[in-house]
Amino acid sequence: MLLKRQVLILQMIVENFINTNQPIGSKEIAKTLDYSSATIRNDMAKLEKEGLITKTHTSSGRIPSECGYRYYVDYINTSYDISAEDEKVLKSILKEKVYSEKKFLEKNAIVLSNLTDCTAVILAPTKTDKRINKIEVILLSSRSILVILITNTGEVHQQNYKMQADFTQEEIEEVNKLLKTYFYDVDMATAHVLLHKEIEKYLKERIDNYDMILIALTRLLNNKIKKTIALGGKYNLLKKPDINNLDKLKEVMTLFEEDNIIDLIDDNSKLSGTKVKIGKELDNKKMNDLSLVTSKFFSDKGEGVIAVFGPKRMNYKKVMTLINCVKDNLNNNLKE
């Protein structure tokens, strides 16, 4: 347990580093807190022993460790008041006519990235309860098939595929038997997994050129579960002094390729509420110098995710507050 005084010292060290990117020593802290430099030095030694702060070099200055940021986010309840100017910018989004969902998401992502000076991503909402009611393959000719997908909400999706080999009606009936067995009343993502585990195994045993059928089914499912993303401030991280290694910067930039970023956000936003993961907590070596704040939002159109990527010394309280403001925008204004 930390003393109240030690919590105040830790808070000052964290917030100083967030704002200045510089370490701070006991004499500087004593100018703000009503304690002696000697008392503060003793408390800093305790905080360092607990792994909450660390030295950058031989000077007396300290900066927060990952554990220090974690403690700050979890236990130091400081609020952030949005400035009148920032509030005006957030409200301005709602005054513009929304021509499409994607453009509305992009406007929110760009505003969020500008206000946080970080990289903002919004995953478009999707119906989490959408399930497959029926999927069927119809043989149009020996080298042409039609795949029909019907969801529990009554949506019908179909796609023609030209094949590079001949198929018989008996083979297609075998395919449909498997689809009927495995795909009734499963969600899209689960269907994708089943396709490449159970169904692929059985198709391989029973049908020549089974891989062509597999590709057709995969394409149809991918089209239906692919998420729309809106990205703002992709290159904001390049302006930060926190990552000064060119190779690391290149690695970070690869994270913002569409498939990578969707997987990354999905893996780190499984729970409701606003969540913060810091550095190594992200379990991705490319992100050891970064933090990620995510929050799910719920609209008439389904469940989506707002995410902000920034350096470990990002202003967490500001980012979390602004994410909640954007969440209100999306919750209230994305309609069927």
Contacts of 130 (CB under 8 A, 6+ apart): 151, 152, 153, 155, 187, 188
- Which tokens go with 205? 């045993």
Query: In angstroms, rounded to a whole number, what is the distance separating the alpha carbons of residues 209 and 254?
Result: 35
Cβ pair 95, 33 in contact under 8 A = no
- Give the number of other Cβ atoms within 10 Å of residue 95's Cβ: 6
Give how far Cα 209 sits from Cα of 141, 171, 180, 197, Å: 16, 10, 20, 17
Q: For residue 297, what pLDDT is reported?
A: 87
Q: For residue 2, what pLDDT is reported?
A: 93
Query: In angstroms, rounded to a whole number, what is the distance separating the alpha carbons of residues 255 and 298?
Result: 25
Torsion sign, CA atoms 194, 196, 197, 201 = positive
State which amino acid sits at residue 72.
Y
Q: What predicted TM-score, i.e. pTM, was given to this entire model?
A: 0.73
Q: For residue 224, what pLDDT is reported?
A: 60
Cβ pair 319, 116 in contact under 8 A = yes
Give how far Cα 285 sits from Cα of 153, 278, 288, Å: 41, 12, 5
Nearest CA among 237, 292, 300, 301 for reference residue 270: 292
Query: In angstroms, rounded to a whole number, what is the distance separating the alpha carbons of residues 225 and 142?
Result: 29
- Residue pLDDT tens, the chain, 336 long: 899 999 999 999 999 999 999 999 999 999 999 999 999 999 999 999 999 999 877 666 999 999 999 999 999 988 899 999 999 998 888 776 666 888 889 999 999 999 999 999 999 887 655 788 889 999 999 999 999 988 887 888 888 999 999 999 999 999 999 899 888 888 876 887 788 888 888 888 888 888 899 888 888 876 665 677 899 998 898 888 887 777 777 877 887 776 678 778 877 777 778 899 999 999 888 888 899 999 988 877 778 899 999 999 999 999 999 999 999 888 887 765
